Structure 1
Amino acid sequence: MSVALFTLGGTIAMAGRAPDRRAGDGVARLTGAELTAAVPGLADAGAPLDVRDTHAVPSAHLTYRQVLDLVADASRAVAAGARGVVVTQGTDTLEETAFLVDLVWPHAEPFVLTGAMRNPTLAGPDGPANLLAAVRVAASPAARDLGALIVFNDEIHAARWARKTHSTSTATIASPNAGPLGHVVEGRVRLLTSPPRREPLPVPAEPSAARVALYTVTFDDDGLLLDGVAEHHDGLILAGFGVGHVPATLVPALGDLAARMPVVLTSRSGSGSVLRNTYGAAGSETDLQRRGLINGGLLDPYKAKVLLRTLLANGAGREDIAAAFARLG
């Protein structure tokens, strides 16, 4: 039984400039065959590879449709007998694409995403080691029933908690609220904890049918950017201070928006949960929930946006959205 490897673009596949600029953006990219050829020990990683090149673009260019189409291709690979899936892509949107996959992946077989921070033309590229570890995890029976995973720097992270935490460090992927699920040690997959799987969401037929805005609250915020949000969007993610607070001046506008569309309260802090009933002043989490905002729990603003857009694209109403955030956040 093989592991299906889908190679996208990103730093892991960068090979300098294309001299003849046949690549549309002038960047030479490694094919899947070239990428795997540069990985020592890959032939002994636990399963043969079925390599497929797709969407060779920077991860900043990826769309919901492309990621969901990739999930469909991966599902067909599993149905044909693949024991796991590995995807290589850029790290810029890795935490979001991985979470989207995790929301809809219905199989017990692992779906592992990885990438790199140093491209193959630099000293000490991390792509080969990350790819080798990812294949080992995808081939491991211990990784079954864990949904989507990010494997990076020999650490195994649940997609639901993983974040890119540094713009250049090879240890950029971390799970601030949970820590890694395990490690790859001397080629062995060591799972230290196994969180329970949650029921997957339906794959939206038209993910572009839902538009979700993200608004980050800042010091002495005047809230002018909130004007017109409801005219152009179907939902709003609010990244508030700390445990879910905003200036009192924003409260009326947020209450009005919550009466018209789902507004999800998250924290801009990077880790930790939005609270529910600790503070009671105007603009506190208690006040905002009383005005109709939905508590985002432990989800950071970026993952909350992925979840809300997926729910809206599936036609979920406010009660279903609140229940989903209570379950997944």
Structure 2
Amino acid sequence: MGLSKRVAVFSLGGTISSTGDSAAGVTPTLTGEDLVRDVPQISGVAEVSATSFRQMSSGELTLDDLVELAAEIEAAFASGASGAVVTQGTDTIEETGFALDLLLDREEPVVVTGAMRNPTLPGADGPANLLAAVQVAVSGAARGLGALVVINDEVHAARFVRKTHTQSPATFRSEPAGPVGWLAEGRVRIVQRPVGRRHIPVSVEYTARPVALYTASLGDDGRVLPELPGLGYGGLVVEAMGGGHVPEAVADRLELLAAQMPVVLSSRTGSGDVLRKTYGFPGSEIDLIGRGLIPSGTLDGLKARMLLSLLLRAGTGPDEIRSAFCEGFG
């Protein structure tokens, strides 16, 4: 009797698919078919189809790639797939996961995974992560959770997960909520269910509008900020200090920009809510919001940039953009 669950695996490259030698370094060469074939245990979990969607390091992926990937995943679900797995480099997994969470409005699980140790190293973690991702993709408990990142036997909601270490297999963390679940002996345990998912319908025909990401720092004067409109940027996300603070000189420049494009205020700390009504000095969150900046709520800079990029690509107006951040993730 055949397996009742079908999973579509889309390979994008990255460490999980990298081979080579120690002298020249490894590069993404293994196909999606290679990855699945190297984990025979998968055949006992689901019927898997593998597609080599891209073959590159994750830093080369673009928003166009992710919009096209979302369309391919939709097509797989329309053809009867029970879940989808995306394998890619870990450098941008948090951005891919959140993009798919926003682009797809499906109950079927969408799981992104990768590896910290490439296949040429002892203890390579790619095969175990791929098997765990497929197990989550066919789990009824994972339905309706949105996009997930599964790695190191932990299940993370795409909205919260971040890469926090350059090398550790335990690099992925979800602050402040923690993982939504884990795997034990191949069984999927889901203990939390995030609320407030948002869907942004974006077609591959829509035109991208670049969004800049700017990190504030001690002694900064923001002299590069006035150049952004002339460089073609359609929006800006500011990773401010602490709860949402910048030097006063930067605040003046941000006010001018906020009159020309959406400017979103996030925190460079990477965790916690952006403040709205605590500090009142020039450059504080109260001051910046009064100058027209949009607080990102719980979203860090990378995720705020992804949300703003998709909203602009979908042609969303200024009031709707503010509502998306203040109501959807505030």
Give structure 1 stretches of 5+ with no counterpart. none
Look up the SS of the partner of 2:259 in the other structure: helix
Matches within 5 A, 1:1-329: 1-16=5-20, 27=27, 29-45=29-45, 47-196=46-195, 198-206=197-205, 208-231=207-230, 232-329=232-329
Could you tell me how far apart the structure 1 residues matched to 2:64 and 2:82 are?
Answer: 24
Per-residue deviation, 1:32? 2.0
* Equivalent residues of 2:226, 2:257 under 8 A apart: no
Per-residue deviation, 1:311? 0.6
Per-residue deviation, 1:316? 1.2
Look up the SS of the partner of 2:327 in the other structure: helix
Could you tell me how far apart the structure 2 residues matched to 1:196 and 1:272 are?
Answer: 17
Look up the SS of the partner of 1:323 in the other structure: helix
Calculate the TM-score normalised by the size of structure 1: 0.94
Residue-pair matches, total: 323
Amino acid at match of 1:257: L
Per-residue deviation, 1:64? 1.0
Could you tell me how far apart the structure 1 residues matched to 2:115 and 2:263 are?
Answer: 34
Could you tell me how far apart the structure 2 residues matched to 1:162 and 1:323 are?
Answer: 23
Distance 1:82 1:100, change over 3 A: same
* Equivalent residues of 2:17, 2:31 under 8 A apart: yes
Could you tell me how far apart the structure 2 residues matched to 1:282 and 1:199 are?
Answer: 33
Distance 1:28 1:64, change over 3 A: closer
Could you tell me how far apart the structure 1 residues matched to 2:226 and 2:199 are?
Answer: 35
Look up the SS of the partner of 1:93 in the other structure: helix
Amino acid at match of 1:308: L
Distance 1:205 1:280, change over 3 A: same
Q: Deviations over 1:93-113 (max 9, x none)?
A: 111111111001111100000
Per-residue deviation, 1:209? 2.9
Amino acid at match of 1:2: R
Could you tell me how far apart the structure 2 residues matched to 1:70 and 1:12 are?
Answer: 18
Could you tell me how far apart the structure 2 residues matched to 1:153 and 1:262 are?
Answer: 37
Distance 1:117 1:26, change over 3 A: closer
Distance 1:268 1:204, change over 3 A: farther
Could you tell me how far apart the structure 1 residues matched to 2:142 and 2:92 are?
Answer: 23
Q: Deviations over 1:41-84 (max 9, x none)?
A: 22222x11111111111111111111111111111111111000
What is the CA RMSD across the aligned residues, in angstroms? Answer: 1.8
* Equivalent residues of 2:15, 2:27 under 8 A apart: no
Amino acid at match of 1:246: V
Could you tell me how far apart the structure 2 residues matched to 1:159 and 1:306 are?
Answer: 12
Overall identity of the aligned pairs, in %:
51
Could you tell me how far apart the structure 2 residues matched to 1:292 and 1:136 are?
Answer: 45
Give structure 2 stretches of 5+ with no counterpart. none
Per-residue deviation, 1:203? 1.2
Per-residue deviation, 1:207? 5.3
Per-residue deviation, 1:220? 0.5
Per-residue deviation, 1:39? 1.9
Calculate the TM-score normalised by the size of structure 2: 0.94
Could you tell me how far apart the structure 2 residues matched to 1:170 and 1:325 are?
Answer: 32
Per-residue deviation, 1:120? 0.5
Look up the SS of the partner of 1:328 in the other structure: coil
Amino acid at match of 2:237: I
Per-residue deviation, 1:313? 1.1
* Equivalent residues of 2:115, 2:129 under 8 A apart: yes
Per-residue deviation, 1:197? 5.2
Amino acid at match of 1:5: V
Look up the SS of the partner of 2:13 in the other structure: coil
Per-residue deviation, 1:8? 1.5
